C-alpha cells in the first residue's frame, strides 16, 4: 500500500470537472484507490464519492492505493494534479 498527501491549490477545490478527470485517471487500474479528507475515505473510482467530500482550496487530502499497480496509480494521480492545477504532493508513505 502506498499513500500520498496533497495540498489542494486550485481556487475552486476539487469540483465536478477535475473530479471527473481524477476518477477517469484511476478507473482502468486494478488497485483499490481511495481519497481521504477530514477523516472520510471514499473510493477514488466513484465520482459521487469524490464529490461528496466537498474538497476546497487549501485542503489536505490523502490518496491511498493498494494492489499490483499501486505505484502506477499514484503516478497517474500525480499527473492529473499537475496538469489540472489541483495540488501539490508533499508527502509519500509506503506501507
pLDDT at residue 12, rounded to an integer: 93
| Choice among 15, 17, 40, 82 that is catalytic | 15
| Successive 10-residue mean pLDDT values, the chain, 95 residues | 94 94 97 98 98 96 97 95 84 55
pLDDT at residue 7, rounded to an integer: 95
pLDDT at residue 88, rounded to an integer: 82
Q: Which CATH number fits domain 2-94: 3.30.1340.10, 3.40.50.20, 3.40.50.1220, 1.10.3720.10?
A: 3.30.1340.10
pLDDT at residue 52, rounded to an integer: 97
pLDDT at residue 94, rounded to an integer: 55
Residue 26: Cβ-neighbour burial (10 angstroms; 0-12, 13-18, 19+): buried
Give the pTM. Answer: 0.90
Q: Which three cell numbers stand for residue 48?
A: 459521487
Rounded-to-10 torsion of CA 15, 16, 17, 22: 80
- 11 an active-site residue? no
Amino acid at each position: 500500500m502506498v499513500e500520498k498527501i496533497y495540498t489542494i491549490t486550485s481556487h475552486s477545490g476539487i469540483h465536478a470537472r477535475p473530479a471527473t478527470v481524477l476518477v477517469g485517471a484511476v478507473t482502468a487500474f486494478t488497485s483499490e484507490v481511495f481519497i481521504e479528507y477530514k477523516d472520510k475515505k471514499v473510493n477514488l473510482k466513484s465520482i459521487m464519492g469524490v464529490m461528496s467530500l466537498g474538497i476546497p482550496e487549501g485542503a489536505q487530502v490523502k490518496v491511498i492505493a493498494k494492489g499490483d499497480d499501486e505505484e502506477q496509480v499514484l503516478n497517474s494521480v500525480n499527473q492529473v494534479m499537475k496538469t489540472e492545477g489541483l495540488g501539490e504532493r508533499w508527502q509519500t508513505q509506503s506501507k
